[in-house]
Each structure stands twice: as structure tokens, then as C-alpha cells.
Structure 1
Amino acid sequence: MKLVIDANIPAADICFGPFGTLHRLPGREIGRADIADADALIVRSITQVNEALLHQSRVRFVGTCTIGTDHIDRALLAQHGIGFASAPGCNAEAVVDYVLSSLLTLSEQGGWPFLERTVGIVGVGNVGSRLQQRLQALGVETLVCDPPRAEMEGQQGFVSLDTLIRTCDVLCLHTPLVQDGPHATYQLLDAQRINELAPGTVLLNAGRGDCIDGLALRSRLSGKGDITAVLDVWESEPDIDAGLRDLVTLATPHIAGHSLDGKLRGTWMIQEALARQLAQPSHTAFSAICPPPALASLTLQQALPVEDALRLCVRAVYDVRRDHDALQRQVLQQGVRRGFDDCRAHYPLRREFATLKVVLSSETEVLKGPLKAAGFQVSVG
């Protein structure tokens, strides 16, 4: 069995090696000739799996080690009886870590209390629901908008996007890209809605770049300049709008979910799906591919303000400023396209908050609730 696999998928050898022969290639370079005689194709979000790629190939299974599937022509796969699997939720915790790191950084830079803000969440799937849970556990007021879920579950607990825009200090987008239909998300935040954002609003997008009108956002930032933007996803990746990037307070190269834990979880979920497709037993346990963290524990001996303690522990695991700085540096050195892709291809090792155990003394036991709510393991004594 021949498997063509994106070269940047971790633990591919141990997870997929037992199935057959692996051919690892950069995701953007996988072409029709590479998969003509392949039996399985394992990709990430940068590989477009469509008729142009699959034409006359013998591929019988496609797996994407990502939560998103808009790069996959699923109708085509179904038409040709090609098995398919994605990895929903694999990196959801990492994206929530990214959001918390970003908001704690912005609150420090702006001198405003993060825990007193009202956060609006657009899209309450794997990521949005977990973000809401952590924020609520921290005592942060949240409002959520998810029309498809509201339609299925009833309107109670959901509000409209326009309500979020009118009432929230922070707006977080975690939606898939839906091009048309009653719940389309393409340019969900269009020029009108971007202009309606109240001064001081923080707009964070870690869903899909095309859900925001980039030109309208650039106009608002360069004109009034009275809102703050955090963008991890962009229109036309990797050829992102350099002018918009320069105006964004935290600009990162589509890495919100790029924790080692999330990537490994995605790989493991797809090898499980392939084993089911082939009616074979699973070859690998998740624990076998997930290494211990470099920093396993941290001890707090003296009392700190809650938000300072959160920042200290968050940055011990993940500091979003590193990724912002890396994108700026690589774009200056290599240009927008190559710089963007280089940041992703050579992304440094990153773990999730849950891998860090925070040990509290009797003097700092008051921090147990907030730190546990943020996603850390916490013990006292």
C-alpha cells in the first residue's frame, strides 16, 4: 500500500508506517503525478484535494489531520466512493490557548482588565464551545452566536451577530468557511459590520480568513484606528495582505492550533480512521506518540494578582508574541508568501496549557480556581 503524506505531519512514520510505504512531500507541492499510483492521501489544510489533484488516481482514502475541511471536495470523494476522515477537535484546546494568550497580552499592553470584559464568540463548535467553557470558569461574561446550532437546538442561549457587535468588548470568530446558503460565513464581517464595531473593540479571528472583509478591516484600522485586531487566518494565504498585516496588533501565520499535542492528536485520529477503513486493528496508542513536556511543573510561592499569575503561567507554555515577531521577521527576510509558509513549516515546539502542572503554596492557594479554569493542572502543597 502506498501512502502520500504531507511532510509536516508529525509521527507519520509510527502511525502510518505499519500500513505500507510512505512518500512524504511538502503539502503545497503534492501534485497529480505524486498520487497517481497512491492508495491513500494524508494532508493538512494547505493541500487542495479536488478533481485537478485526484483525476485518474487510484486513491481510495483521503485523510486531513485538521479540523477544517474546506480544502477538500467532499462531494467528489463521495461520488467516487473514496473514504474520508478529518480530525474534528484535535487542536481545539490549542486554539483556546492561543486566544487566552492573545487577550492576556492585549490587556497588558492596553492596561485594561481582561477578566472584566464581555467576550462574544461567533461559532460554538469544538473551539468556540471550549473557549466559552474556559472563559465562564474564569468568570468572564460571554455571549455566543451560532445560527446553525440555534436552529437545531432553539434560540435560548444564543444571540445574533449584530447583538454581539453592539454589546461585546471582544469579538472572537471560530467559524468554518461556508460560501453560500442561509448560514454562509463568507465575509460574515463585511464592511458594514466592521464599521459598526464600537471604538475599543478587540476583533480576533482564528477561524477562516475569508470570514472577514480584509479590505474593510484595513480601512478601519488605517482610518479611525480605534479598534484592535488579532488575525491568525487571512484571505489568500499565503499571499496575505501586507498592508493589513502591518496594522494588526497580533499577526500570526495560521498557527493558532499548532501545538504538538494538537498535531499529534490529529495524526492519531486519522490513523484510527484509516485502520477502520481497512478493517484493521489500530496500530498505535496516543500515549505512545505524545512525549513529556520540557516544562512539566511550575511552583508559585508568593501571591500575585490573578491576571499576573495567569500571564506568568500562560507564557511559561505559550507566548503569542513569539509567533507575531517570527512572522514579521520572516516576511522582511523572505517576502510575504515564503515568509508565511516558512513560519508554518518550521514552527517551534509548542505544548498545551494542560501539560503544565502548577504547584501552589498555602499563600497562593487562592489562585487555584483561576489557573485550573485557564486549563492548567493545579495542585496545592
Structure 2
Amino acid sequence: MRIIIDQATPAASLLFGSLGEIQTIPGRAITSEHCRAAQAVIVRSVTSVNRELLTGSTVQFVGSATAGTDHIDRHWLQQQDITFAHAPGCNATAVVEYVLTALLWLMVREGCLLQEKTVGIIGVGHIGSLLNQRLQALGVTTLLCDPPRAERGDTGPFWPLSHLVQHAEVLTFHLPLQREGPHPTWHLLDEELLAALPDGRILINSARGALFDSAALLTALAGGKTCRVVLDVWEHEPALSLPLLSRVTLATPHIAGYTLEGRVNGAFAVYQALCRQLGGRPGVDRASLLPNAQQAVTLSGPWRSEQLKPLLDRIYRIERDDAALRAVADQSGAFDQLRAAYPARRECSSLLLVCDQEQTAQQWQRLGFQAVVR
């Protein structure tokens, strides 16, 4: 079979090479002509898969090595009897660690403790749930907002967004982009919400750019709204609003979920689905796609929260991504080039913490690290 693959998909040859002839192409450059004689298309979030891309093609399988699916016309694929697979939760750990890194960077900058803040989590799916677990393990108070889950009667408690706006110092958004339906999320952060938001709040969007009305946000910030904004996703990306970029506190080029582990998880989930489609069993083991723990760190005594940021700094320095984006933001194509050349960022699980107390090791494990007692 012929397989078209976004070139940002890790281990593409190793995973898909045994299943057919592969052609890797930059995601935004994949066209209907590329797909015409293909039987499978593997994309990431920058490729829109719809009638325009696949009409007249021989494609029988579409895989997105991502958690989100708003770039996929799933209804049309179903009508055409084209199998679709994606990777829910594949980058949950990556995004959670991005958010924690951003928050701890801000806390150090402002001379306060994260445990002194209440964090409002808007959208409590794979990412929001894991973020809630990690924050609670740190002793941080959280407020959860997820109307669909609240309506289903899921365990909460879940609060209205208006409650989080008034009572949470941090609002972090983890929602799919939905323009219609009972709970639309497009421009959820709009002029009205910004007007209701008390000064001094922290806003984080690492989900979908259009959850925020960027024009309204820019107007509020330019008009003196004193909130700190962390943006990894942008409403019109890869185009950036340079005036908005100049006013946000931390800015990154849609890489919150771009850890090596997260990307491998996404690719491997689609690989497994394609193997099932072909009636075979996977011939590659996920563990073989990841290197072993990159370093060991010895920790003595009981667990202390102030140890977390130095450990995260060993893995990821968010300020470097911020500086890299600002340095080239006015250059054509820079946003995609930063993503394409993004280094292999690792997750907390890539560190091995050697502790001398069992309780200490267990606490680090709750925060996603490998931890042993010796």
C-alpha cells in the first residue's frame, strides 16, 4: 500500500515502512494530488482532512497522530466508509508538564508559591484530569469546569465558568474547538469574560488558539488589563498577531504537546490502528522507540516542593522557546520552521530519581518521575 505521512511523525519509517511504501511530506504541504493514489494518510494537526483533500483518491484509512480532531471532517470520512483513527490522550503528560513548567516559572518570577494559588481547569478530559491530579499531589487547590461531564453526572465537583473567573487566580484551558452544539468553545474567552475577569489573573491556552478571541484579548491588554497570559496556540496560526505577542507573558509555537514521548504515543496509536485495519499484529514495540532514562539524580531526605522546578529545568526551559519565537516571529514561515526543527524535549519520566525514603519516591512517582529507593 502507499502511505502519505506528515514528516513530523516520529519513527515513520520504522513504524510504517513494513506496511507499505511511505512518502513523508510537510503537513501543510499535503495536497489532494499526493493522496490520489494512496491507500492511507497519516497526518498531524496542521493538515485538514476533508472532501477537498480526499475526493477522487483511493484512501481507505486516515490516521491523525494527535489527540484533537477538529482538523478532521469525521462525518465525511464516515459517509465515505474511510476508517479513521487518532490518539486521544497521547500528549496529555506533555501538555500537563508544559503548564506546570509555565506556572512555576511565573511563580519564581513573581516571588510566590504555586500552593498559594487556586487553579481553575476548564475542560477535564485526558489533559485536564491529569493536570488536576498533579496539582493536587502538589497541594494546590483546583476548581474544575466541564459542563458536558457535569451534565452526565460525573464525579466532580464541577463549577460554572463564571465561578472560576471569580475564584481562581489561574485559568488554564483544555478544550476541543467547537463552533456549534450545546457547549460551543469558539471564543470562549471573549470581551464579556475578560471584562468580568479580576485583575492579576493568569490565563493559559495550550489547547486551541480560537478558544480565545485574540482581538478582544489584545484590546483588553492594551487597555490596561493586568493579567499574565501564556499562549502556546494562536487563533490564526501559523500567522501570529505581533501586537498580541508583544503583550503576552510567555509565548511558544504550538509545542506544548511536542515531547518525544507524546509524539511517539500518537504515532504508535495510529500504527496499531493501521495494523488492525490490515488484519495484522504490530511488529514494533513502543518501548523500542524511546531511549532509556537520560540521567539519574540523587535526592536525600523528605520530599520538598522547592525541588520540583530545578528538576523540571533539567528537562525543559520554557523561556528558551519563548525567546526563540520572539526572535523570528516577524519572519515568513518562522512558526512552522520552529515546530519542524523542534528538539526532542523529554518528559519527567525520562529522569530517574534515586531517593533514600520510600515516601519521597512515591511522591515523585505521583508527579510523573521515575523514582526508586536505594
Quickly name the TM-score band, shorter chain normalised. Answer: over 0.9
Q: Quick one: percent identity of the two aligned structures?
A: 44
Residue range with higher mean Cα deviation, 223-232 or 57-66: 223-232
Matches within 5 A, 1:208-357: 208-293=208-293, 295-301=294-300, 306-332=304-330, 335=331, 337-357=332-352
Pair 1:13–1:370, CA change in 2 (3 A) = same
Supply the distance in 1 between the matched residues of 2:26 and 2:177 (Cα, whole angstroms).
24
2:301, 2:360 within 8 Å by CA — same for their partners in 1?
no
SS of 1:68's equivalent in the other structure is coil
Distance in 1, matches of 2:237 and 2:136, equals 33
CA displacement at 1:371 relative to structure 2: 3.4
| Distance across 2 between alignment mates of 1:131 and 1:263 | 19
CA distance in 2, matches of 1:126, 1:230: 20
Residues 301 and 360 in structure 1, CA contact (< 8 A), matched pair in contact too: yes
Tell me the CA shift for residue 51 of structure 1. Answer: 1.2
How far is the alpha carbon of 1:303 from its aligned partner? 8.2
Question: In structure 2, what is the Cα distance between the partners aligned to 1:156 and 1:44?
Answer: 32
- Pairing of 1:58-97 with structure 2 (within 5 A): 58-97=58-97
Shift of 1:330: 2.5
Q: Is the 8 A contact 1:4 1:23 kept in 2?
A: yes
Mapped partners of 1:380, 1:268: distance in 2: 32
- Structure 1 regions of 5+ residues with no counterpart? none
Letter in 2 for 1:91: N
Cα distance in 2 for partners of 1:70, 1:126 equals 16
Deviation at 1:349, TM superposition (A): 1.2
- The structural deviation recorded for 1:216 is 1.3
Q: 3-state DSSP class of the match of 1:109?
A: helix
Question: Structure 1: how far apart are the matches of 2:301 and 2:311?
Answer: 14
Shift of 1:219: 1.7
Alignment match, 2:15: 15
Normalising by structure 1, report the TM-score.
0.94
Q: Which amino acid aligns with 1:82?
A: I
Match of 2:307, SS state, is helix
* 1:140-181 CA distance string (max 9 Å, x none): 110100111111125851000010001001000000001111
Provide structure 2 residue ranges, at least 5 long, that are not aligned to the other structure: none
- More moved, 96-105 vs 323-332: 323-332
Cα distance between partner residues in 1 of 2:302 and 2:101: 21
Is the 2:328–2:334 Cα contact (8 Å) retained in structure 1?
Answer: yes
> 1:374 is matched with which residue?
367
Give the Cα separation in 2 of the matches to 1:379 and 1:326: 36
Contact 1:214 1:244 survives alignment (8 Å): yes
Distance 1:371 1:155 in 2: 26
Number of positions where the alignment pairs a residue of Structure 1 with one of Structure 2: 374
What's the CA shift for 1:379? 2.9
> Is 1:45 aligned with 2:36?
no
Whichever residue aligns with residue 180 of structure 1, its letter is E
Q: 1:164 to 1:238 in 2, by over 3 A?
A: same
CA positional deviation for 1:33: 0.7
CA distance in 1, matches of 2:43, 2:241: 25
Give CA deviations for 1:87-126 in whole Å, capped at 9, x if unaligned.
0011100000101100000000111211221000000001
The alignment status of 1:125 with 2:125, answered yes or no, reads: yes
Q: Deviation per CA, 1:14-38, whole angstroms, max 9, x where unpaired?
A: 1111111001111111111111000
* Residue 67 to residue 8, structure 1, CA distance change in 2 (3 Å): same
Output the CA distance in 2 between the equivalents of 1:287 and 1:145. Answer: 35
Could you tell me how far apart the structure 2 residues matched to 1:77 and 1:379 are?
A: 47
CA distance in 2, matches of 1:369, 1:290: 24
TM-score w.r.t. length of structure 2: 0.96
Aligned to 1:171: 171
Structure 1 SS opposite 2:194? helix
Distance 2:339 2:347 in 1: 17
How far apart, CA to CA, are the structure 1 residues paired with 2:260 and 2:56?
A: 35
1:360 equivalenced with 2:355 (yes/no)? yes
Let me know the Cα RMSD of the aligned residues. 1.7
Shift of 1:308: 3.0
Map of 1:95-110 to 2, 5 A cutoff?
A: 95-110=95-110
Judge conservation of contact 2:136–2:142 (CA < 8 Å) in 1.
Answer: yes
